[in-house]
Amino acid sequence: MDPAVLLFLSSGLFLGWSLGANDAANVFGTAVGTRMVRFTTAAIICGVFVVLGAMISGAGPAHTLGKLGSINALPGAFMAALSAALTVYLMTKAGLPVSTTQAIVGAIVGWNLFSGSLTDTATLVTLILTWVICPVLAAVIAAGLYKAITAGLRKAKLHLLRLDAYTRAALMLAGAFGAYSLGANNIANVMGVFVPVSPFTAFSLGGGVTVSPVQQLFLLGAIAIAVGVFTYSKGVMMTIGRDLATLSPIAAFVVVLAHSIVLFLFASQGLEHLLARAGLPTIPLVPVSSSQAVVGAIIGIGLLKGGAGIRGRLLGGIALSWLATPAIAGLVCFIALFFLQNVFSQQVYRPVVYELSEAVLERIESEGIDVSSVRDLTGTLLVSTPRLRAALEERVDLTGAELRAFVGFAEIDRIEIDKSKLSRLGADLLITDGQRAALARLAGRSFNHRWMLDDALARASDEWKARPATTVNKLFNRRLDEKRRAIHTLFRVE
């Protein structure tokens, strides 16, 4: 592998290390702080299960960050991850449990502003809403669990020694579940920006097992998280487990369990599938803040007890750090990209060329968007999103959704279906025989736009057609999008 690639990936590894150093406190901080579990034991359990969670269940939240902003150059992804990592590291050094999610979201928005790319406002609003919902949900779950468990223990009347042994075991089990949920949900923060520009290629382990580029990225990121847990997480564990509020061992167990449940809810594709099949609203697969979840759980128990044990000044400092984190990460990323591009001559974003051809305008019009005011641009090539946006806004007032349609359909992204590459499509994509056969029939054809390939596939087989937008079909359509993105990446002509 090119050493430069490893250099660019190093910022993601640094971010993973920072996440492990900071967010391991959310998994085992209360257990270690109450001296129910030794730090070494906590670190070993946390490291192992973080890796498992990232590899098994980490894909869903990563795609949400891709919608927020698709960083299309490896140096740009490097700087976004580095900016987030530096922000998290400084907050960790101050002993504050900050949100890695907020840091990477701020960095991605910083890259979008520098490159002139559109920020998907719908995705950004969803992420911001989870920053409010996450601690509130954790507080509610923790308060309910604490009330139910303490009532059950009063009825059980366990001996103190037996209760102590059960509590230690419960804390380790809850910590293992929490570490798994942390890896599943937050690996997107560590390696999500690298997914669109992954330098790896799929390889086979034999027996039909293929390791995809995304899985390789996730493994590296998860190992970095585990190293962060072992080397630098003890200080923040003490802040969470001992300084924010005085917790009993039972309360410590409830905090870890409530935090773990919240992270799992926002990362589980299996749960999403069950809800969709039942026709129920699904929970968005987004990377949520582990720190916000655990602080919310602690506050929930504290409020249940009357709020006397909550240290308001420390809580205020944590809340301010949450507000500052995305702003600092975004500003650092914007300034650092300027230096990386102009001082070190690195391409931090790949220039995007847009073509408003007759075919593109007809496709946009099929979405119910009036294109009559921009027909004088037919055949025009525009380099960069700001130029496209300026040309359009000179002629017509567009809504955000209409502008995104122009950007999405007009972007030139040359794709050529090379039959020799078909075997590289990993089994994890779950491409059916019918879908694979339809793709093979397009071998040798070239497309200037991604949507042209998507339309050709839909004409070749009904299995490539999106279904009506209902709750039941939501999961099918999302997986169809994942397959399309993998195909675009594999057959893209650089």
Eight-state DSSP code of residue 449: S
Higher-confidence residue of 107 and 274: namely 107
Letter string b/e over residues 74-86, b meaning 16 or more CB atoms within 10 A of that residue's CB: bbbbbbbbbbbbb
Eight-state DSSP code of residue 492: B
| DSSP secondary structure string for all residues of 62-120 | HHHHHHH----SHHHHHHHHHHHHHHHHHHHHTT----HHHHHHHHHHHHHHHHTPPP-
Q: List, for residues 247-297, the tens digit of each pLDDT value.
A: 788 888 898 899 889 988 888 777 877 877 777 777 887 888 887 888 899
Mean pLDDT of 469-474: 75
Mean pLDDT of 373-379: 93
The pLDDT assigned to 120 comes to 85
**100 HSE (CA, 13 A, CB side):** 33
Residue 383 has pLDDT above 60, yes or no: yes
Residue 239 has pLDDT above 80, yes or no: no
Three-state SS letters, 116-139: CCCCCHHHHHHHHHHHHHHHHHHH
The pLDDT assigned to 54 comes to 87
The pLDDT assigned to 257 comes to 92
The pLDDT assigned to 270 comes to 78
Residue 112 has pLDDT above 60, yes or no: yes
Split at pLDDT 50, 70, 90, the class of 366 is very high
Q: List, for residues 176-225, the tens digit of each pLDDT value.
A: 998 998 888 888 888 888 877 777 777 766 666 667 778 888 889 999 99
Which residues make Cβ contacts (< 8 Å) with residue 272, sequence separation at least 6?
60, 282, 283, 285, 475
Indicate the average pLDDT of the chain: 85
Give the whole-angstrom CA distance, residue 470 versus residue 482.
18
Pull the structure tokens for residue 329: 């990460």
Q: List, for residues 7-60, the tens digit of each pLDDT value.
A: 888 888 988 888 888 777 678 877 777 778 888 888 899 889 998 988 887 766
Give the whole-angstrom CA distance, residue 323 versus residue 158.
44
Mean pLDDT of 302-306: 85
The pLDDT assigned to 447 comes to 96
| DSSP secondary structure string for all residues of 317-349 | HHHHHHHHHHHHHHHHHHHHHHHHHHTS----S
Mean pLDDT of 478-488: 86
Give the whole-angstrom CA distance, residue 354 versus residue 450.
12
SS3 465: coil
Pull the structure tokens for residue 492: 């893209």
Residue 335 has pLDDT above 80, yes or no: yes
* This prediction's pTM: 0.82
Report for 143-152, 164-173, 283-292: range of highest mean pLDDT: 143-152
SS3 353: strand
The pLDDT assigned to 309 comes to 63
Mean pLDDT of 78-97: 84
Q: How many CB atoms lie within 10 A of CB 397?
A: 8
Which residues make Cβ contacts (< 8 Å) with residue 484, sequence separation at least 6?
450, 453, 454, 457
Q: Which of 97, 80, 79 is nearest to 88 (CA)?
A: 97
Residue type for position 406 = F
Q: Which of 256, 263, 274, 253 is nearest to 189 (CA)?
A: 263
The domain limits of the chain are: 3-342, 353-410, 415-491
Are the C-beta atoms of residues 433 and 425 closer than 8 Å to each other? no
Mean pLDDT of 302-330: 80
Q: List, for residues 402-417, the tens digit of each pLDDT value.
A: 999 999 999 999 999 9
